[in-house]
Structure 1
Amino acid sequence: MRAVILGGSGFIGTALSGLLLDKGWQVVIPSRNPEKGRFLIPQGHSMDVSFVLWDGNDPHTLAKYCEGADAIINLAGENIATARWTEEQKQRIRLSRVQTGEVLIKALNVLTVLPEVLVQGSAIGYYGGSQTLAGPDAYTEFSPSGEGFLASVAKDWEASTVEAEQMGIRRIITRTGVVLGPNEGALQKFLPPFRYFAGGPLGTGQQGFSWIHRDDTAGAIAHLIENKDCAGPYNLTAPTPVTMRDFCSALGRVMNRPSWLPVPGFMLRLMLGEMAEELVLQGQFALPGRLSGTGYNFRFTDLEDALRNILTS
């Protein structure tokens, strides 16, 4: 079995690459810088991945790599939290996702043999922001799309490959929550203040924090690929979302540090601008109903267990 992963050297892609290799898959990662990408693959697997040169724009070169693939996973996209959201940065975030999807569709149109499955990345930002507590009003895969920049990007990102379904390809949409893992990702931004005994919740602390361990993110994607009845949108979140305050309290306990110094919303708005509102001060309580219904067995459903695994292993 062969998988082509766009965005395969990213935070989720590297974990997924290692897992698929462990399962006996061949993994191909198109990259603008193959040698740099190779160093990001989990130790012991870096030489097993086929890194190939691709500029991100040429559908014919991409088609050459996709010919004969069983699965294509599209995770490519600019990190939404690396820079302040100027109009130029927002355009880069959107185009990095939408254009890759559109190029992928052009590549699929020239293939002799189509892949069995396409995984299209997305995020729970699709539902917009909410202060509603978890419960009957938590977001499920049947909830409508919301408002705001992240919601509009997620909708466009998902729509960029919808044509694959008309070709008869089984398409899976993975709406991912806050992915917790080592070395990269959202968790790393919380660690410095806690290390210096200055940690605490951001904003009101009541906003939803729908988290998932990176191992479960990769595990869920592999599970959905290998189960041929799985198609459509799936929330990739642990079944136990928490508030921002509860997340910070759990992190403090794991690090043996207090969670006592909240960062007011106005300060975050001054520092981060529009990004603060959508990415930090709002949140989502999202539940993985469809994923759980497929029989996927989460490795981590307890937040403290997940944090302890990441920070002490």
Structure 2
Amino acid sequence: MQLLITGGTGSIGSRLVESLAADHHEIIVLSRNPAAHKFPEGVSGVAWDGKTPDGWGHLVDGIDVVINLAGENLAGNGTIPSRWTDARKKSIRESRINAGQALVDAISAADVKPKLLFQISGIDYYPPGDDLVTETSPPGDTFLANVVANDWEPSTAAVEGMGVRRIVGRLGPVLSMGGGPLPISVLQFKFFVGGHLGNGRQWLSWIHIDDAVNAIKHMCSSTHVEGVYNIVAPNPVRNEKFSQVLGSVMGRPKWIPAPAFALKLALGEISTLVLEGRQVSAQLLLDTQFKFKFAELKPALENLLE
């Protein structure tokens, strides 16, 4: 296949690009600074501004698949999450809208349009709580839910009217030592200060990085897949259980919980990323015949920490 990928230099995108390149696909990665990245053989880095199709839009003509992973990192680029200032909230929202619109404009101008556009999204679409949610559940009313439901997912919806098949993948927290919630948790347990967050009852609908990458590849290569899919492991856990399993795998005790008030004081609104959770169903993804490498948390953590 010939693929064009935005967000291909992030923690998930880079792993996806590596995996696709290993399968000998032809890949174009749109990047704000392609010269700063070393791409695998068969991968071309092309500059874009994240806002317009200027300088690269013609590359969409005749491409097989477009994968849109672009968007400012919700937690920032450091190990410790960055506060959501008004400016950061604006950037989180606009980076997703602008990237989607640029792709729509490029596809609209293409004589031979892509067969498929894969749009990444997030399970923050759903309201926090204990109820099991599926792809047909209504959206929540948080900042992120509003961004996902009203801006991010709709940003590329117009391609459906151009005859392009579209998949929306609502991704859960990805377990990887390259980013996401795991590195800081590992650091805490390493220094014997690991524990659950808040009351520990919030759900974590996690997924191993390998399964996240393989799920995207699986959906993009399956001609019968279309619409919205949750990309999460089939066995979510509560935060307290996650801490217990992580401590066990690392040979460290779980004994110092982080109080909710302290996290809210230190992090502000972004603390909702770890203090609120959703129990998200993976059944629709399973129905596509996708096979998980890591359906259970313990072997997933053992693999990542070996």
Over the aligned positions, Cα root-mean-square deviation in angstroms equals 1.1
- Any stretches of 5+ residues in structure 1 without a counterpart? none
Matched residue of 1:173: which SS?
strand
| Number of the residue aligned with 2:295 | 301
- The reply on whether 1:180 has 2:179 as its aligned counterpart is no
| Number of the residue aligned with 1:249 | 244
Q: Deviations over 1:230-260 (max 9, x none)?
A: 0011100000000000001111011110111
CA contact (8 A) 1:71 1:118 kept: yes
- The reply on whether 1:79 has 2:80 as its aligned counterpart is no
| Number of the residue aligned with 2:14 | 14
Amino acid at match of 1:168: G
CA contact (8 A) 1:179 1:211 kept: yes
Q: Tell me how far apart the structure 1 counterparts of residues 36 and 237 of structure 2 sit (CA, whole Å).
A: 36
- The reply on whether 1:266 has 2:265 as its aligned counterpart is no
- The reply on whether 1:310 has 2:270 as its aligned counterpart is no
CA contact (8 A) 1:172 1:231 kept: yes
Runs of 4+ in 1 over 3 A off after TM superposition: none
Superposed displacement of residue 70, structure 1: 0.3
Q: Tell me how far apart the structure 1 counterparts of residues 137 and 268 of structure 2 sit (CA, whole Å).
A: 28
| Number of the residue aligned with 2:232 | 237
| Number of the residue aligned with 1:151 | 145
CA contact (8 A) 1:62 1:104 kept: no
Q: Tell me how far apart the structure 2 counterparts of residues 247 and 31 of structure 1 sit (CA, whole Å).
A: 35
| Number of the residue aligned with 2:111 | 112
- The reply on whether 1:23 has 2:20 as its aligned counterpart is no
| Number of the residue aligned with 1:88 | 87
Superposed displacement of residue 79, structure 1: 0.6
Matched residue of 2:100: which SS?
helix
- The reply on whether 1:129 has 2:128 as its aligned counterpart is yes
Q: Tell me how far apart the structure 2 counterparts of residues 301 and 205 of structure 1 sit (CA, whole Å).
A: 21
Q: Tell me how far apart the structure 1 counterparts of residues 119 and 37 of structure 2 sit (CA, whole Å).
A: 21
CA contact (8 A) 2:134 2:280 kept: yes
Amino acid at match of 1:55: D
| Number of the residue aligned with 1:216 | 211
Matched residue of 1:174: which SS?
strand
How do 1:32-51 and structure 2 match up within 5 A?
32-38=32-38, 46-51=40-45
Amino acid at match of 1:171: R
Amino acid at match of 1:18: E
* TM-score with structure 1 setting the length: 0.93
Which range moves more in the overlay, 183-192 or 214-223?
A: 183-192
* TM-score with structure 2 setting the length: 0.96
Amino acid at match of 1:209: L
| Number of the residue aligned with 2:202 | 207
Q: Tell me how far apart the structure 1 counterparts of residues 147 and 52 of structure 2 sit (CA, whole Å).
A: 22
Q: Tell me how far apart the structure 1 counterparts of residues 166 and 37 of structure 2 sit (CA, whole Å).
A: 26
Superposed displacement of residue 107, structure 1: 1.0
Superposed displacement of residue 61, structure 1: 2.4
Q: Tell me how far apart the structure 1 counterparts of residues 95 and 13 of structure 2 sit (CA, whole Å).
A: 16
Superposed displacement of residue 147, structure 1: 1.0
Q: Tell me how far apart the structure 2 counterparts of residues 48 and 249 of structure 1 sit (CA, whole Å).
A: 42
Q: Tell me how far apart the structure 1 counterparts of residues 153 and 259 of structure 2 sit (CA, whole Å).
A: 34
Identity of aligned residues (%): 43
Superposed displacement of residue 170, structure 1: 0.6
- The reply on whether 1:193 has 2:188 as its aligned counterpart is yes
CA contact (8 A) 1:141 1:289 kept: no
Q: Tell me how far apart the structure 1 counterparts of residues 304 and 59 of structure 2 sit (CA, whole Å).
A: 34
- The reply on whether 1:225 has 2:230 as its aligned counterpart is no
- The reply on whether 1:102 has 2:101 as its aligned counterpart is yes
Superposed displacement of residue 282, structure 1: 0.8
Matched residue of 1:273: which SS?
helix
